[in-house]
């Protein structure tokens, strides 16, 4: 296990020399802001010793050199919208803010790519692409506040992953500052390449443990002019989830397939003061289809309706704004039941999602907490919202641990994983060690150790030190 040195005045001075005095903060109020992310998991929060805001790749590079010289850990931070404590400084030290590097460097319409700094907001990228009839397909739910660097570091998923893949699939290349401060560009603006190791994909999704992404060239795709969202209502949960692989196999190529169980239908409808079909007993699939051609959309809609009905849907209607409002209010709507809650981000093969939801919902009934289920069903990603309600703290901790032991083992037996899109961060570190194949885990640690021998960059995330 590595040990780190405290951030001394000498370190602070060195950092000020790099970025300028006003971008180095050591006051308690600032440090307190950067101890947390959006996880609402205080037991994982850690206070940094210094917060530094970098303005350029060169500054990031110099900061890493200082950090190695003084053996002080560095935790890069985007907008802090993570819910896995990936941007929390596990070993204190330096929190490195990327938000000043917020320039869109190039928008090439003909080449259909955009070159951006890591601190650009995802929504700004989406909007700029949109303005020229193009689309950036990365679309995490926090797009209006998160930064692209964080999306890249965590391989963020989101609303369009069924059709377009996750953040790692939207990338031509990344500029990276390695743990030793050296800078390189990995990947290239090419449709295909068999020239050396695929290091870009290794860095993307490594949650800032192998390198700090400072810039990226992102792929854009043509914007589909035709779009329709459908709400398929089922009174049988397993039928609602069994629909999903059938949609994929029929070549409908949906942009998203979202699932809400009846708990969420009720609570979010109540919260939104809207009454949607089968409030009492309905489970919902919301399916988005986009096409380049009107006939194609009509054709897909016919096929979609036929499949939904064959799968036992009681209603198949256009999903209007009311449906999306209810969907958006899901998490917020649970506050009335419980102020304390935790969200799971399990992912399973799409064919297993019906079994998985049913089994885990049944299992959850053995415990005193309540479980509400949302899913990005089209990509097998389950967001179980577990509500503490009126349980004691000790019973909550104990039962949660027991439920997770059963749930995670079951998900891994199905071929699933701990996180579909939120990442491991600090929060799931112990589970990562427990559920990952030891050979794979060793290989990750071997690579981490080779690339970052001082374990200076975001230590304590994804994998623990050997």
Residues in region 232-271 near a copy of itself by CB under 8 A: 245, 248-251
Site map for a copy of itself, 295-334, x if CB under 8 A?
A: xx--xx----------------------------------
Kindly report the number of other CB atoms within 10 A of residue 107's CB atom. 18
Burial of residue 343 (CB within 10 Å: 0-12, 13-18, 19+) is middle
Please identify, among the stretches 12-20, 331-339, 384-392, 433-441, the one whose residues bind a copy of itself according to the rule CB under 8 A: 433-441
Q: What is d(CA 407, CA 364) in angstroms, rounded to the nearest whole number?
A: 9
Between 299 and 390, name the residue whose CB sits nearer to a copy of itself.
299
Q: Which of 155, 241, 263, 334 touches a copy of itself by CB under 8 A? A: 155
Decide if residue 112 touches a copy of itself (CB under 8 A): yes
Q: What is d(CA 75, CA 95) in angstroms, rounded to the nearest whole number?
A: 5
Residue 260: alpha-carbon gap to chain centroid: 19
Decide if residue 68 touches a copy of itself (CB under 8 A): no
Shortest distance, CB of residue 190 to a copy of itself, whole angstroms?
Answer: 5
| 413 contact partners, CB below 8 Å, separation of at least 6 | none
Q: Which of 104, 128, 202, 389 touches a copy of itself by CB under 8 A? A: 202
Please identify, among the stretches 72-80, 114-122, 373-381, 390-398, the one whose residues bind a copy of itself according to the rule CB under 8 A: 373-381
Shortest distance, CB of residue 465 to a copy of itself, whole angstroms?
Answer: 15
Please identify, among the stretches 16-24, 32-40, 327-335, 346-354, the one whose residues bind a copy of itself according to the rule CB under 8 A: 346-354
C-beta separation of 135 from 290 below 8 A: no
Q: Which of 88, 162, 341, 429 touches a copy of itself by CB under 8 A? A: 162
Please identify, among the stretches 66-74, 278-286, 402-410, 419-427, the one whose residues bind a copy of itself according to the rule CB under 8 A: 419-427
Shortest distance, CB of residue 323 to a copy of itself, whole angstroms?
Answer: 23
Q: Which of 168, 215, 239, 266 touches a copy of itself by CB under 8 A? A: 168
Between 19 and 424, name the residue whose CB sits nearer to a copy of itself.
424
Here the tokens at position 102 are 């917020």
Decide if residue 227 touches a copy of itself (CB under 8 A): no
Kindly report the number of other CB atoms within 10 A of residue 14's CB atom. 19
Between 120 and 186, name the residue whose CB sits nearer to a copy of itself.
186
Q: What is d(CA 350, CA 380) in angstroms, rounded to the nearest whole number?
A: 5
């Amino acid at each position: 296990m590595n040990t780190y040195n405290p951030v001394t005045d000498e370190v602070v001075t060195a950092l000020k020399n790099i970025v300028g005095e006003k971008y180095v903060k050591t006051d308690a109020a600032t440090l307190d802001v950067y101890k947390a992310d959006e996880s609402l998991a205080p037991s994982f929060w850690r206070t940094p010793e210094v917060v530094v805001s970098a303005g350029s790749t060169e500054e990031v590079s110099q900061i890493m050199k200082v950090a190695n010289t003084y053996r002080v850990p560095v935790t890069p931070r985007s907008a802090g919208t993570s819910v896995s404590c990936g941007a929390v400084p596990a070993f204190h030290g330096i929190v490195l803010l990327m938000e000043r590097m917020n320039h869109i460097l190039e928008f090439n319409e003909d080449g259909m790519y955009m070159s951006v700094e890591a601190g650009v907001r995802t929504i700004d990228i989406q909007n700029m692409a949109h303005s020229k009839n193009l689309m950036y397909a990365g679309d995490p739910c926090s797009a209006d506040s998160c930064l692209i660097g964080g999306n890249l570091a965590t391989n963020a998923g989101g609303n369009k992953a069924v059709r377009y893949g996750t953040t790692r699939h939207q990338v031509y290349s990344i500029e990276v500052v390695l743990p030793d401060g050296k800078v390189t560009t990995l990947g290239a603006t090419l449709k295909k390449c068999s020239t050396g190791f695929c290091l870009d994909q290794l860095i993307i999704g490594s949650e800032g443990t192998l390198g700090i992404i400072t810039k990226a060239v992102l792929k854009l795709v043509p914007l589909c002019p035709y779009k329709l969202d459908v709400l398929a209502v089922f009174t049988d949960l397993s039928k609602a989830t069994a629909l999903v692989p059938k949609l994929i196999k029929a070549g409908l190529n949906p942009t998203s397939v979202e699932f809400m169980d009846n708990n969420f239908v009720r609570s979010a409808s109540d919260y939104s003061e809207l009454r949607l079909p089968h409030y009492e007993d309905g489970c919902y699939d919301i399916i988005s289809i986009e096409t380049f051609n009107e006939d194609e959309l009509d054709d897909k809609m016919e096929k979609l309706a036929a499949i939904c009905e064959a799968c036992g849907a009681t209603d198949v209607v256009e999903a209007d704004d009311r449906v999306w409002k209810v969907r958006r209010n899901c998490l917020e709507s649970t506050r009335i039941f419980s102020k304390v809650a935790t969200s799971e981000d399990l992912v399973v093969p799409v064919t297993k999602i019906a079994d998985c939801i049913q089994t885990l919902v049944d299992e959850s009934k053995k415990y005193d907490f309540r479980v509400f289920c949302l899913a990005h069903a089209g990509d097998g990603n389950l967001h179980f919202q577990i509500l503490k309600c009126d349980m004691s703290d000790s019973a909550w901790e104990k039962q949660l641990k027991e439920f997770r032991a059963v749930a995670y083992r079951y998900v891994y037996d199905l071929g699933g994983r701990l996180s579909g899109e939120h990442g491991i961060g600090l929060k799931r570190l112990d589970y990562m060690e427990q559920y990952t194949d030891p050979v794979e885990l060793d290989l990750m640690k071997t690579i981490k150790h080779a690339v970052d021998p001082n374990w200076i960059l975001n230590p304590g995330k994804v994998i623990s030190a050997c």
